[in-house]
Amino acid sequence: MGESIDLRNLEREAYRAQWSDGLIDIYLGLSLLWLGVMWTWVNEFSGLAGILPAIFVTPMLAVHRRFVEARIGHVEWRPARIGWERRSQVLLLVAGVGLFGVTIGALIISRNGGGHAVGPGILAWILAALCLGLSVLLVARRMLLYGVVLLIGGVAVELADAEPGWPMLACGVAATITGLVMLRRFVERHPVIRTP
């Protein structure tokens, strides 16, 4: 009985395990693929591309919760963790919507000949910043890697003066594949809990 249990560390590990199923990565990857396709090949509707991923956030989170709870159970977080998570989510949502809205507006105005030209890499850089926020919120370092892919992709489309969707396509493929691998591992490690 000489060992002491660090409950904060245990909670941190449980929180990290909650987001290790790969579903958020698959959702992010498919959303980026959708955005990439719209911004690369369907330019006339590209400003509306973010609506579909936004609509599916809530259903995706509900599916994620049911999927994870069926395998690792339900965890009651400390009030401090719940407060931190809520503040982080609100901050990330406000920052994401604001930055994304400004970027989309600037790109649409730029494409229609009004105002100053906006570089094609800005959208990828904004999404890279959001990946940084997700890495902190979800305690998931892999989100940093997605951010790096978007950052480098943004630089590449700036230098090539290419369509802004290419970095999203590249990161979308990477995130989807990563998510599928993680999902398979999660299912193998955590079979469904059967209650008698």
Q: What is the DSSP-derived secondary structure letter of residue 42?
A: -
Question: Which pLDDT value is given to residue 167?
Answer: 96
Question: Which pLDDT value is given to residue 114?
Answer: 56
Where in the sequence is the domain holding 82, given as residue range(s)? 7-188
Question: Which pLDDT value is given to residue 117?
Answer: 55
Please name which of 167, 174, 187 lies closest in space to residue 124, comparing C-alpha atoms: 167
Contact 111, 165 (CB under 8 A): no
Question: Which pLDDT value is given to residue 29?
Answer: 95
Any domain includes 194: no
% pLDDT > 90, the chain:
29
Between CA 50 and CA 30, with CA 120 as vertex, the angle to 5 degrees is: 35
Contact 21, 68 (CB under 8 A): yes
What residue has token string 């719209």? 38
Say yes or no to pLDDT of 2 above 60: no
Please name which of 118, 117, 140, 143 lies closest in space to residue 131, comparing C-alpha atoms: 143
173-194 pLDDT, tens digit each: 999 999 999 999 999 988 887 7
pTM of the full structure: 0.78
Any domain includes 195: no
Any domain includes 160: yes
What are the residues whose beta carbons fall under 8 Å from the beta carbon of 183, sequence distance 6 or more?
A: 21, 22, 23, 26
Any domain includes 90: yes
Any domain includes 193: no
